[in-house]
Amino acid sequence: MNTERQDLMEKVTALCKRRGFVYPSSEIYGGLGGLYDYGPYGVALRRNIRNLWWRHVVDLRDDVVGIEATIIGPSAVWEASGHVGGFSDPLVDCLGTCRRRWRADHLEGDRCPECGGPLSEPRQFNLMFKTHIGPVEDTASVAYLRPETAQGMFVNFKNVVNSMRVRVPFGIAQQGRSFRNEITHGNFIFRLRELEQMEMEFFVRPGEDERCHEFWIQERLLWYTDVIGICPERLRLRPHREDEKAHYAKASTDIEYLFPFGWGEVEGIANRTDYDLRTHQEHSGQDLTYQDPETSERYLPYVVEPAVGVDRIMITCLLDAYDEEDVRGETRVVLRLHRDVAPVQVAVMPLSKKEELIGPAREVQRSLQQVFRVEYDQTGGNIGRRYRRQDEIGTPFCVTVDFETLEDRAVTIRERDSMAQERVPVAGLLDRLRERFS
């Protein structure tokens, strides 16, 4: 049975808190809008998402390298990139009773959606968090927390070309935190003020950008369906209209997911042309052109950029995986997460806390840990309750050590989705699980 989409977000939000995926940040002080902390299973899920992105965008290719640039950067970088002047959203104030602030482009009509009061004229609100570096707070010390990781790749373009044996076409990838002082946050971790991005800038010869753009759109779409197991029917590609393209983009296509609140952007793949290298060249006075070693031709490469937030992928995975079904008159909640993103891949459980079961169960845990992400669970509660807990965190397999194990040296594998059980000799357990995972 598929859960009604309307209350899905609330159910997933509650599960995330109950089961240690996501907590509201600084909750004991009332929390802060658009900021969340990640609990143990959330951390594991995020790490798996990050690793799978890195593996497919960097490690499995020989034309992409990684960097890690600073999160805080001098004003000069953000003036050149156009973010100081243009990274803003139109803000309106409610002049009625609630006095709330809204993003004008997210409103329908000219009244406050909360109290129906009149609204102010829109004004531009810059989304960057501003601070100062050093003890003196003057204009020379102004710095910003990055609103995107991309600029780190552009300002290091020359460094990478000079220090690595890269040749256009090649890409620079980065994962890391970005900050946006969003006017309206919400939909749980969909729109955050502190987010984590995974971006790759792929540098190509001008003229080859459109083909490259199409390649990365298809490549990234396949990653969602084939690598992290998102349902293809809930994904679509949406090219940007002329009036919604970012200031740097010649063309942009979003990979969208059918969220409970409608279609929403998971990832954007933009053709940024030579906008960024050109503007940094002009502002810094440094030559950022690339010289083709074979033809000696000099040019500013064009850039195709797949850009996504880890938090967006995480909420997509959770919503896509959440399911409820009726099992003998009780509701079973199960996260049907893809085995490669699941925080725990195998849970090992002794049937009871009796000493004679703990030794063999620990042995099974140790042997499986070499290959899988394993959790050992000997907490109280009957085995059914422990299976249900693993279902809720999306663990594909449970392995149970029982009293018969002491006689027949075999254990039970219980599969999450079908709940089917299989008796397997301990000696063949690792191979059998490998088979089931492949």
Say how far apart CA 350 and CA 404 lie, in whole Å: 11
CB-based contacts of 384, cutoff 8 Å, min separation 6: none
Residues 180-239 that bind ligand GAP (CB under 6 A): 180, 182, 191-192, 195, 197, 199
Question: Bridge-partner residues for 143, per DSSP?
Answer: 74, 131
128 binds ligand GAP (CB under 6 A): no
89 binds ligand GAP (CB under 6 A): no
Name the residue nearer to ligand GAP (CB basis): 303 or 348.
Answer: 303
Q: Minimum CB separation from ligand GAP for residue 140, in Å? A: 27
**Of residues 347, 361, 429, the one with CA closest to residue 393:** 347
265 binds ligand GAP (CB under 6 A): yes
267 binds ligand GAP (CB under 6 A): yes
Q: Cα 91 from chain centroid?
A: 27
Segment interacting with ligand GAP, rule: CB under 6 A, options 56-64, 128-136, 263-271, 390-398? 263-271
Say how far apart CA 405 and CA 429 lie, in whole Å: 13
Name the residue nearer to ligand GAP (CB basis): 158 or 180.
Answer: 180
351: left (phi over 0), alpha (psi -120 to 50) or beta: alpha
**Of residues 261, 275, 260, the one with CA closest to residue 322:** 260
Q: Cα 313 from chain centroid?
A: 4
19 binds ligand GAP (CB under 6 A): no
Taking CB under 6 A as the criterion, the residue among 22, 77, 80, 150 binding ligand GAP is 150
Name the residue nearer to ligand GAP (CB basis): 305 or 391.
Answer: 305
Name the residue nearer to ligand GAP (CB basis): 245 or 432.
Answer: 245
Residues 306-365 that bind ligand GAP (CB under 6 A): 307-309, 311-312
426, 361 in Cβ contact below 8 A? no
Question: Bridge-partner residues for 375, per DSSP?
Answer: 347
Segment interacting with ligand GAP, rule: CB under 6 A, options 25-33, 156-164, 169-177, 260-268? 260-268
Report how many residues bind ligand GAP under the rule CB under 6 A.
19
Token pair recorded at residue 400: 């149970």
Helices and strands in the chain: count of H runs, count of E runs? 13, 24
Q: Which positions lie near ligand GAP, rule CB under 6 A?
A: 148, 150, 180, 182, 191-192, 195, 197, 199, 265-268, 305, 307-309, 311-312
